[in-house]
C-alpha cells in the first residue's frame, strides 16, 4: 500500500475502499474485481484509489492482511474458560468474528487464500495453530488426543474446512458454529472412536 494515511480522513478513505473491495469480491469474484469497480463501489474516483494503492493486488493484499490479523489476534487473545467446550466456543466466536453478518465473505476470501495469497494464509494458519495448542494445553485433562500440536492442526483445519465448505445461505451462522464445536469436542474427548 502506498500511503497508509496518518490522518483520520485518509484512514477512513482507505477502509471505505477496502470494504468496497470485499463487496466487489463477493459479487464479481477476484478475476472481475477491477480497480474501477472497487472505486465506483466505494464512491471515489479511480484516481483517489491510486493515491493509496498500487493496483488490484495491493488492495486485496491489504484485505487479506486485515482479515488474517483479525483471525490471528482473535485466536491469540482467546481466554481460557472453565471447560474445554466453553474455551472452544470462545475460540470459534473470535476467529469467525467479522463474517457472521455476511457469510459470503468466507467463501470470497478463501478464493484469494488458495491463490496468490497462499503464503500469507499458511503463515497465519501456523500462528493460529500455536494459539490453539496453548488453549488445548490448558485443558489437557479433558483431551484424549496425545499430540496436542496435531490436535490443534485438526481443530483449526476442521474449522477452516467447514467454514469454507458450508453453504451459509442454507445454514445460519450460529448453526455452523454449533456444528464445528460439536466436531471439535467429539474429536478431542471421544475415548473410543467408532471405526
Q: What is the pLDDT of residue 4?
A: 59
Instruction: Give the pLDDT confidence of 132-191 residue by residue, as tens digits.
Output: 999 999 999 999 999 999 999 999 998 888 777 666 556 677 788 888 999 999 999 998
Instruction: Give the pLDDT confidence of 10-47 residue by residue, as tens digits.
Output: 889 999 999 999 999 989 988 999 999 999 999 999 99
Question: 112 pLDDT exceeds 70?
Answer: yes
- For domain 1-54, the question of CATH label 3.90.70.10 is answered with no
Q: Supply the pTM of this predicted model.
A: 0.82
Question: 127 pLDDT exceeds 60?
Answer: yes
- Residue 81 DSSP code: -
Tell me how many degrees the CA angle 177-182-187 measures, rounded to the nearest 5.
130
d(CA 183, CA 28): 33
Domain boundaries for CATH 1.10.357.10 within the chain: 57-189
Q: How many residues does the chain have?
A: 195
Q: What is the pLDDT of residue 15?
A: 92
Helix-then-strand count for the chain, H and E: 9, 0
d(CA 95, CA 162): 13
Q: What is the pLDDT of residue 131?
A: 96
Instruction: Give the pLDDT confidence of 66-75 residue by residue, as tens digits.
Output: 888 888 998 9
Domain boundaries for CATH 1.10.10.60 within the chain: 1-54
CATH classification for the domain delimited by 57-189, as one of 1.10.10.10, 3.40.50.300, 3.30.450.20, 1.10.357.10: 1.10.357.10
d(CA 177, CA 36): 36
Amino acid at each position: 500500500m502506498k500511503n497508509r494515511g496518518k490522518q483520520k480522513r485518509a484512514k477512513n478513505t482507505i477502509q471505505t475502499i477496502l470494504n468496497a473491495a470485499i463487496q466487489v469480491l463477493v459479487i464479481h469474484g477476484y478475476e472481475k474485481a477491477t480497480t474501477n469497480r472497487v472505486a465506483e463501489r466505494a464512491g471515489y474516483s479511480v484516481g483517489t484509489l491510486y493515491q493509496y494503492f498500487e493496483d488490484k493486488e495491493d488492495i486485496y493484499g491489504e484485505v487479506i492482511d486485515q482479515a488474517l490479523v483479525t483471525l490471528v489476534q482473535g485466536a491469540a487473545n482467546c481466554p481460557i474458560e472453565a471447560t474445554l467446550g466453553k474455551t472452544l466456543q470462545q475460540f470459534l466466536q473470535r476467529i469467525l468474528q467479522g463474517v457472521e453478518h455476511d457469510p459470503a465473505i468466507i467463501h470470497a476470501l478463501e478464493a484469494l487464500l488458495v491463490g496468490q495469497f497462499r503464503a500469507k494464509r499458511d503463515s497465519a494458519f501456523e500462528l493460529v495453530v500455536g494459539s490453539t495448542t496453548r488453549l488445548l494445553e490448558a485443558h489437557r485433562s479433558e483431551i484424549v488426543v496425545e499430540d496436542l500440536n496435531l490436535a490443534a492442526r485438526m481443530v483449526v483445519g476442521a474449522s477452516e474446512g467447514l467454514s469454507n465448505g458450508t453453504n451459509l445461505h442454507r445454514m445460519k451462522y450460529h448453526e455452523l458454529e454449533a456444528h464445528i464445536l460439536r466436531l471439535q469436542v467429539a474429536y478431542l474427548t471421544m475415548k473410543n472412536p467408532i471405526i
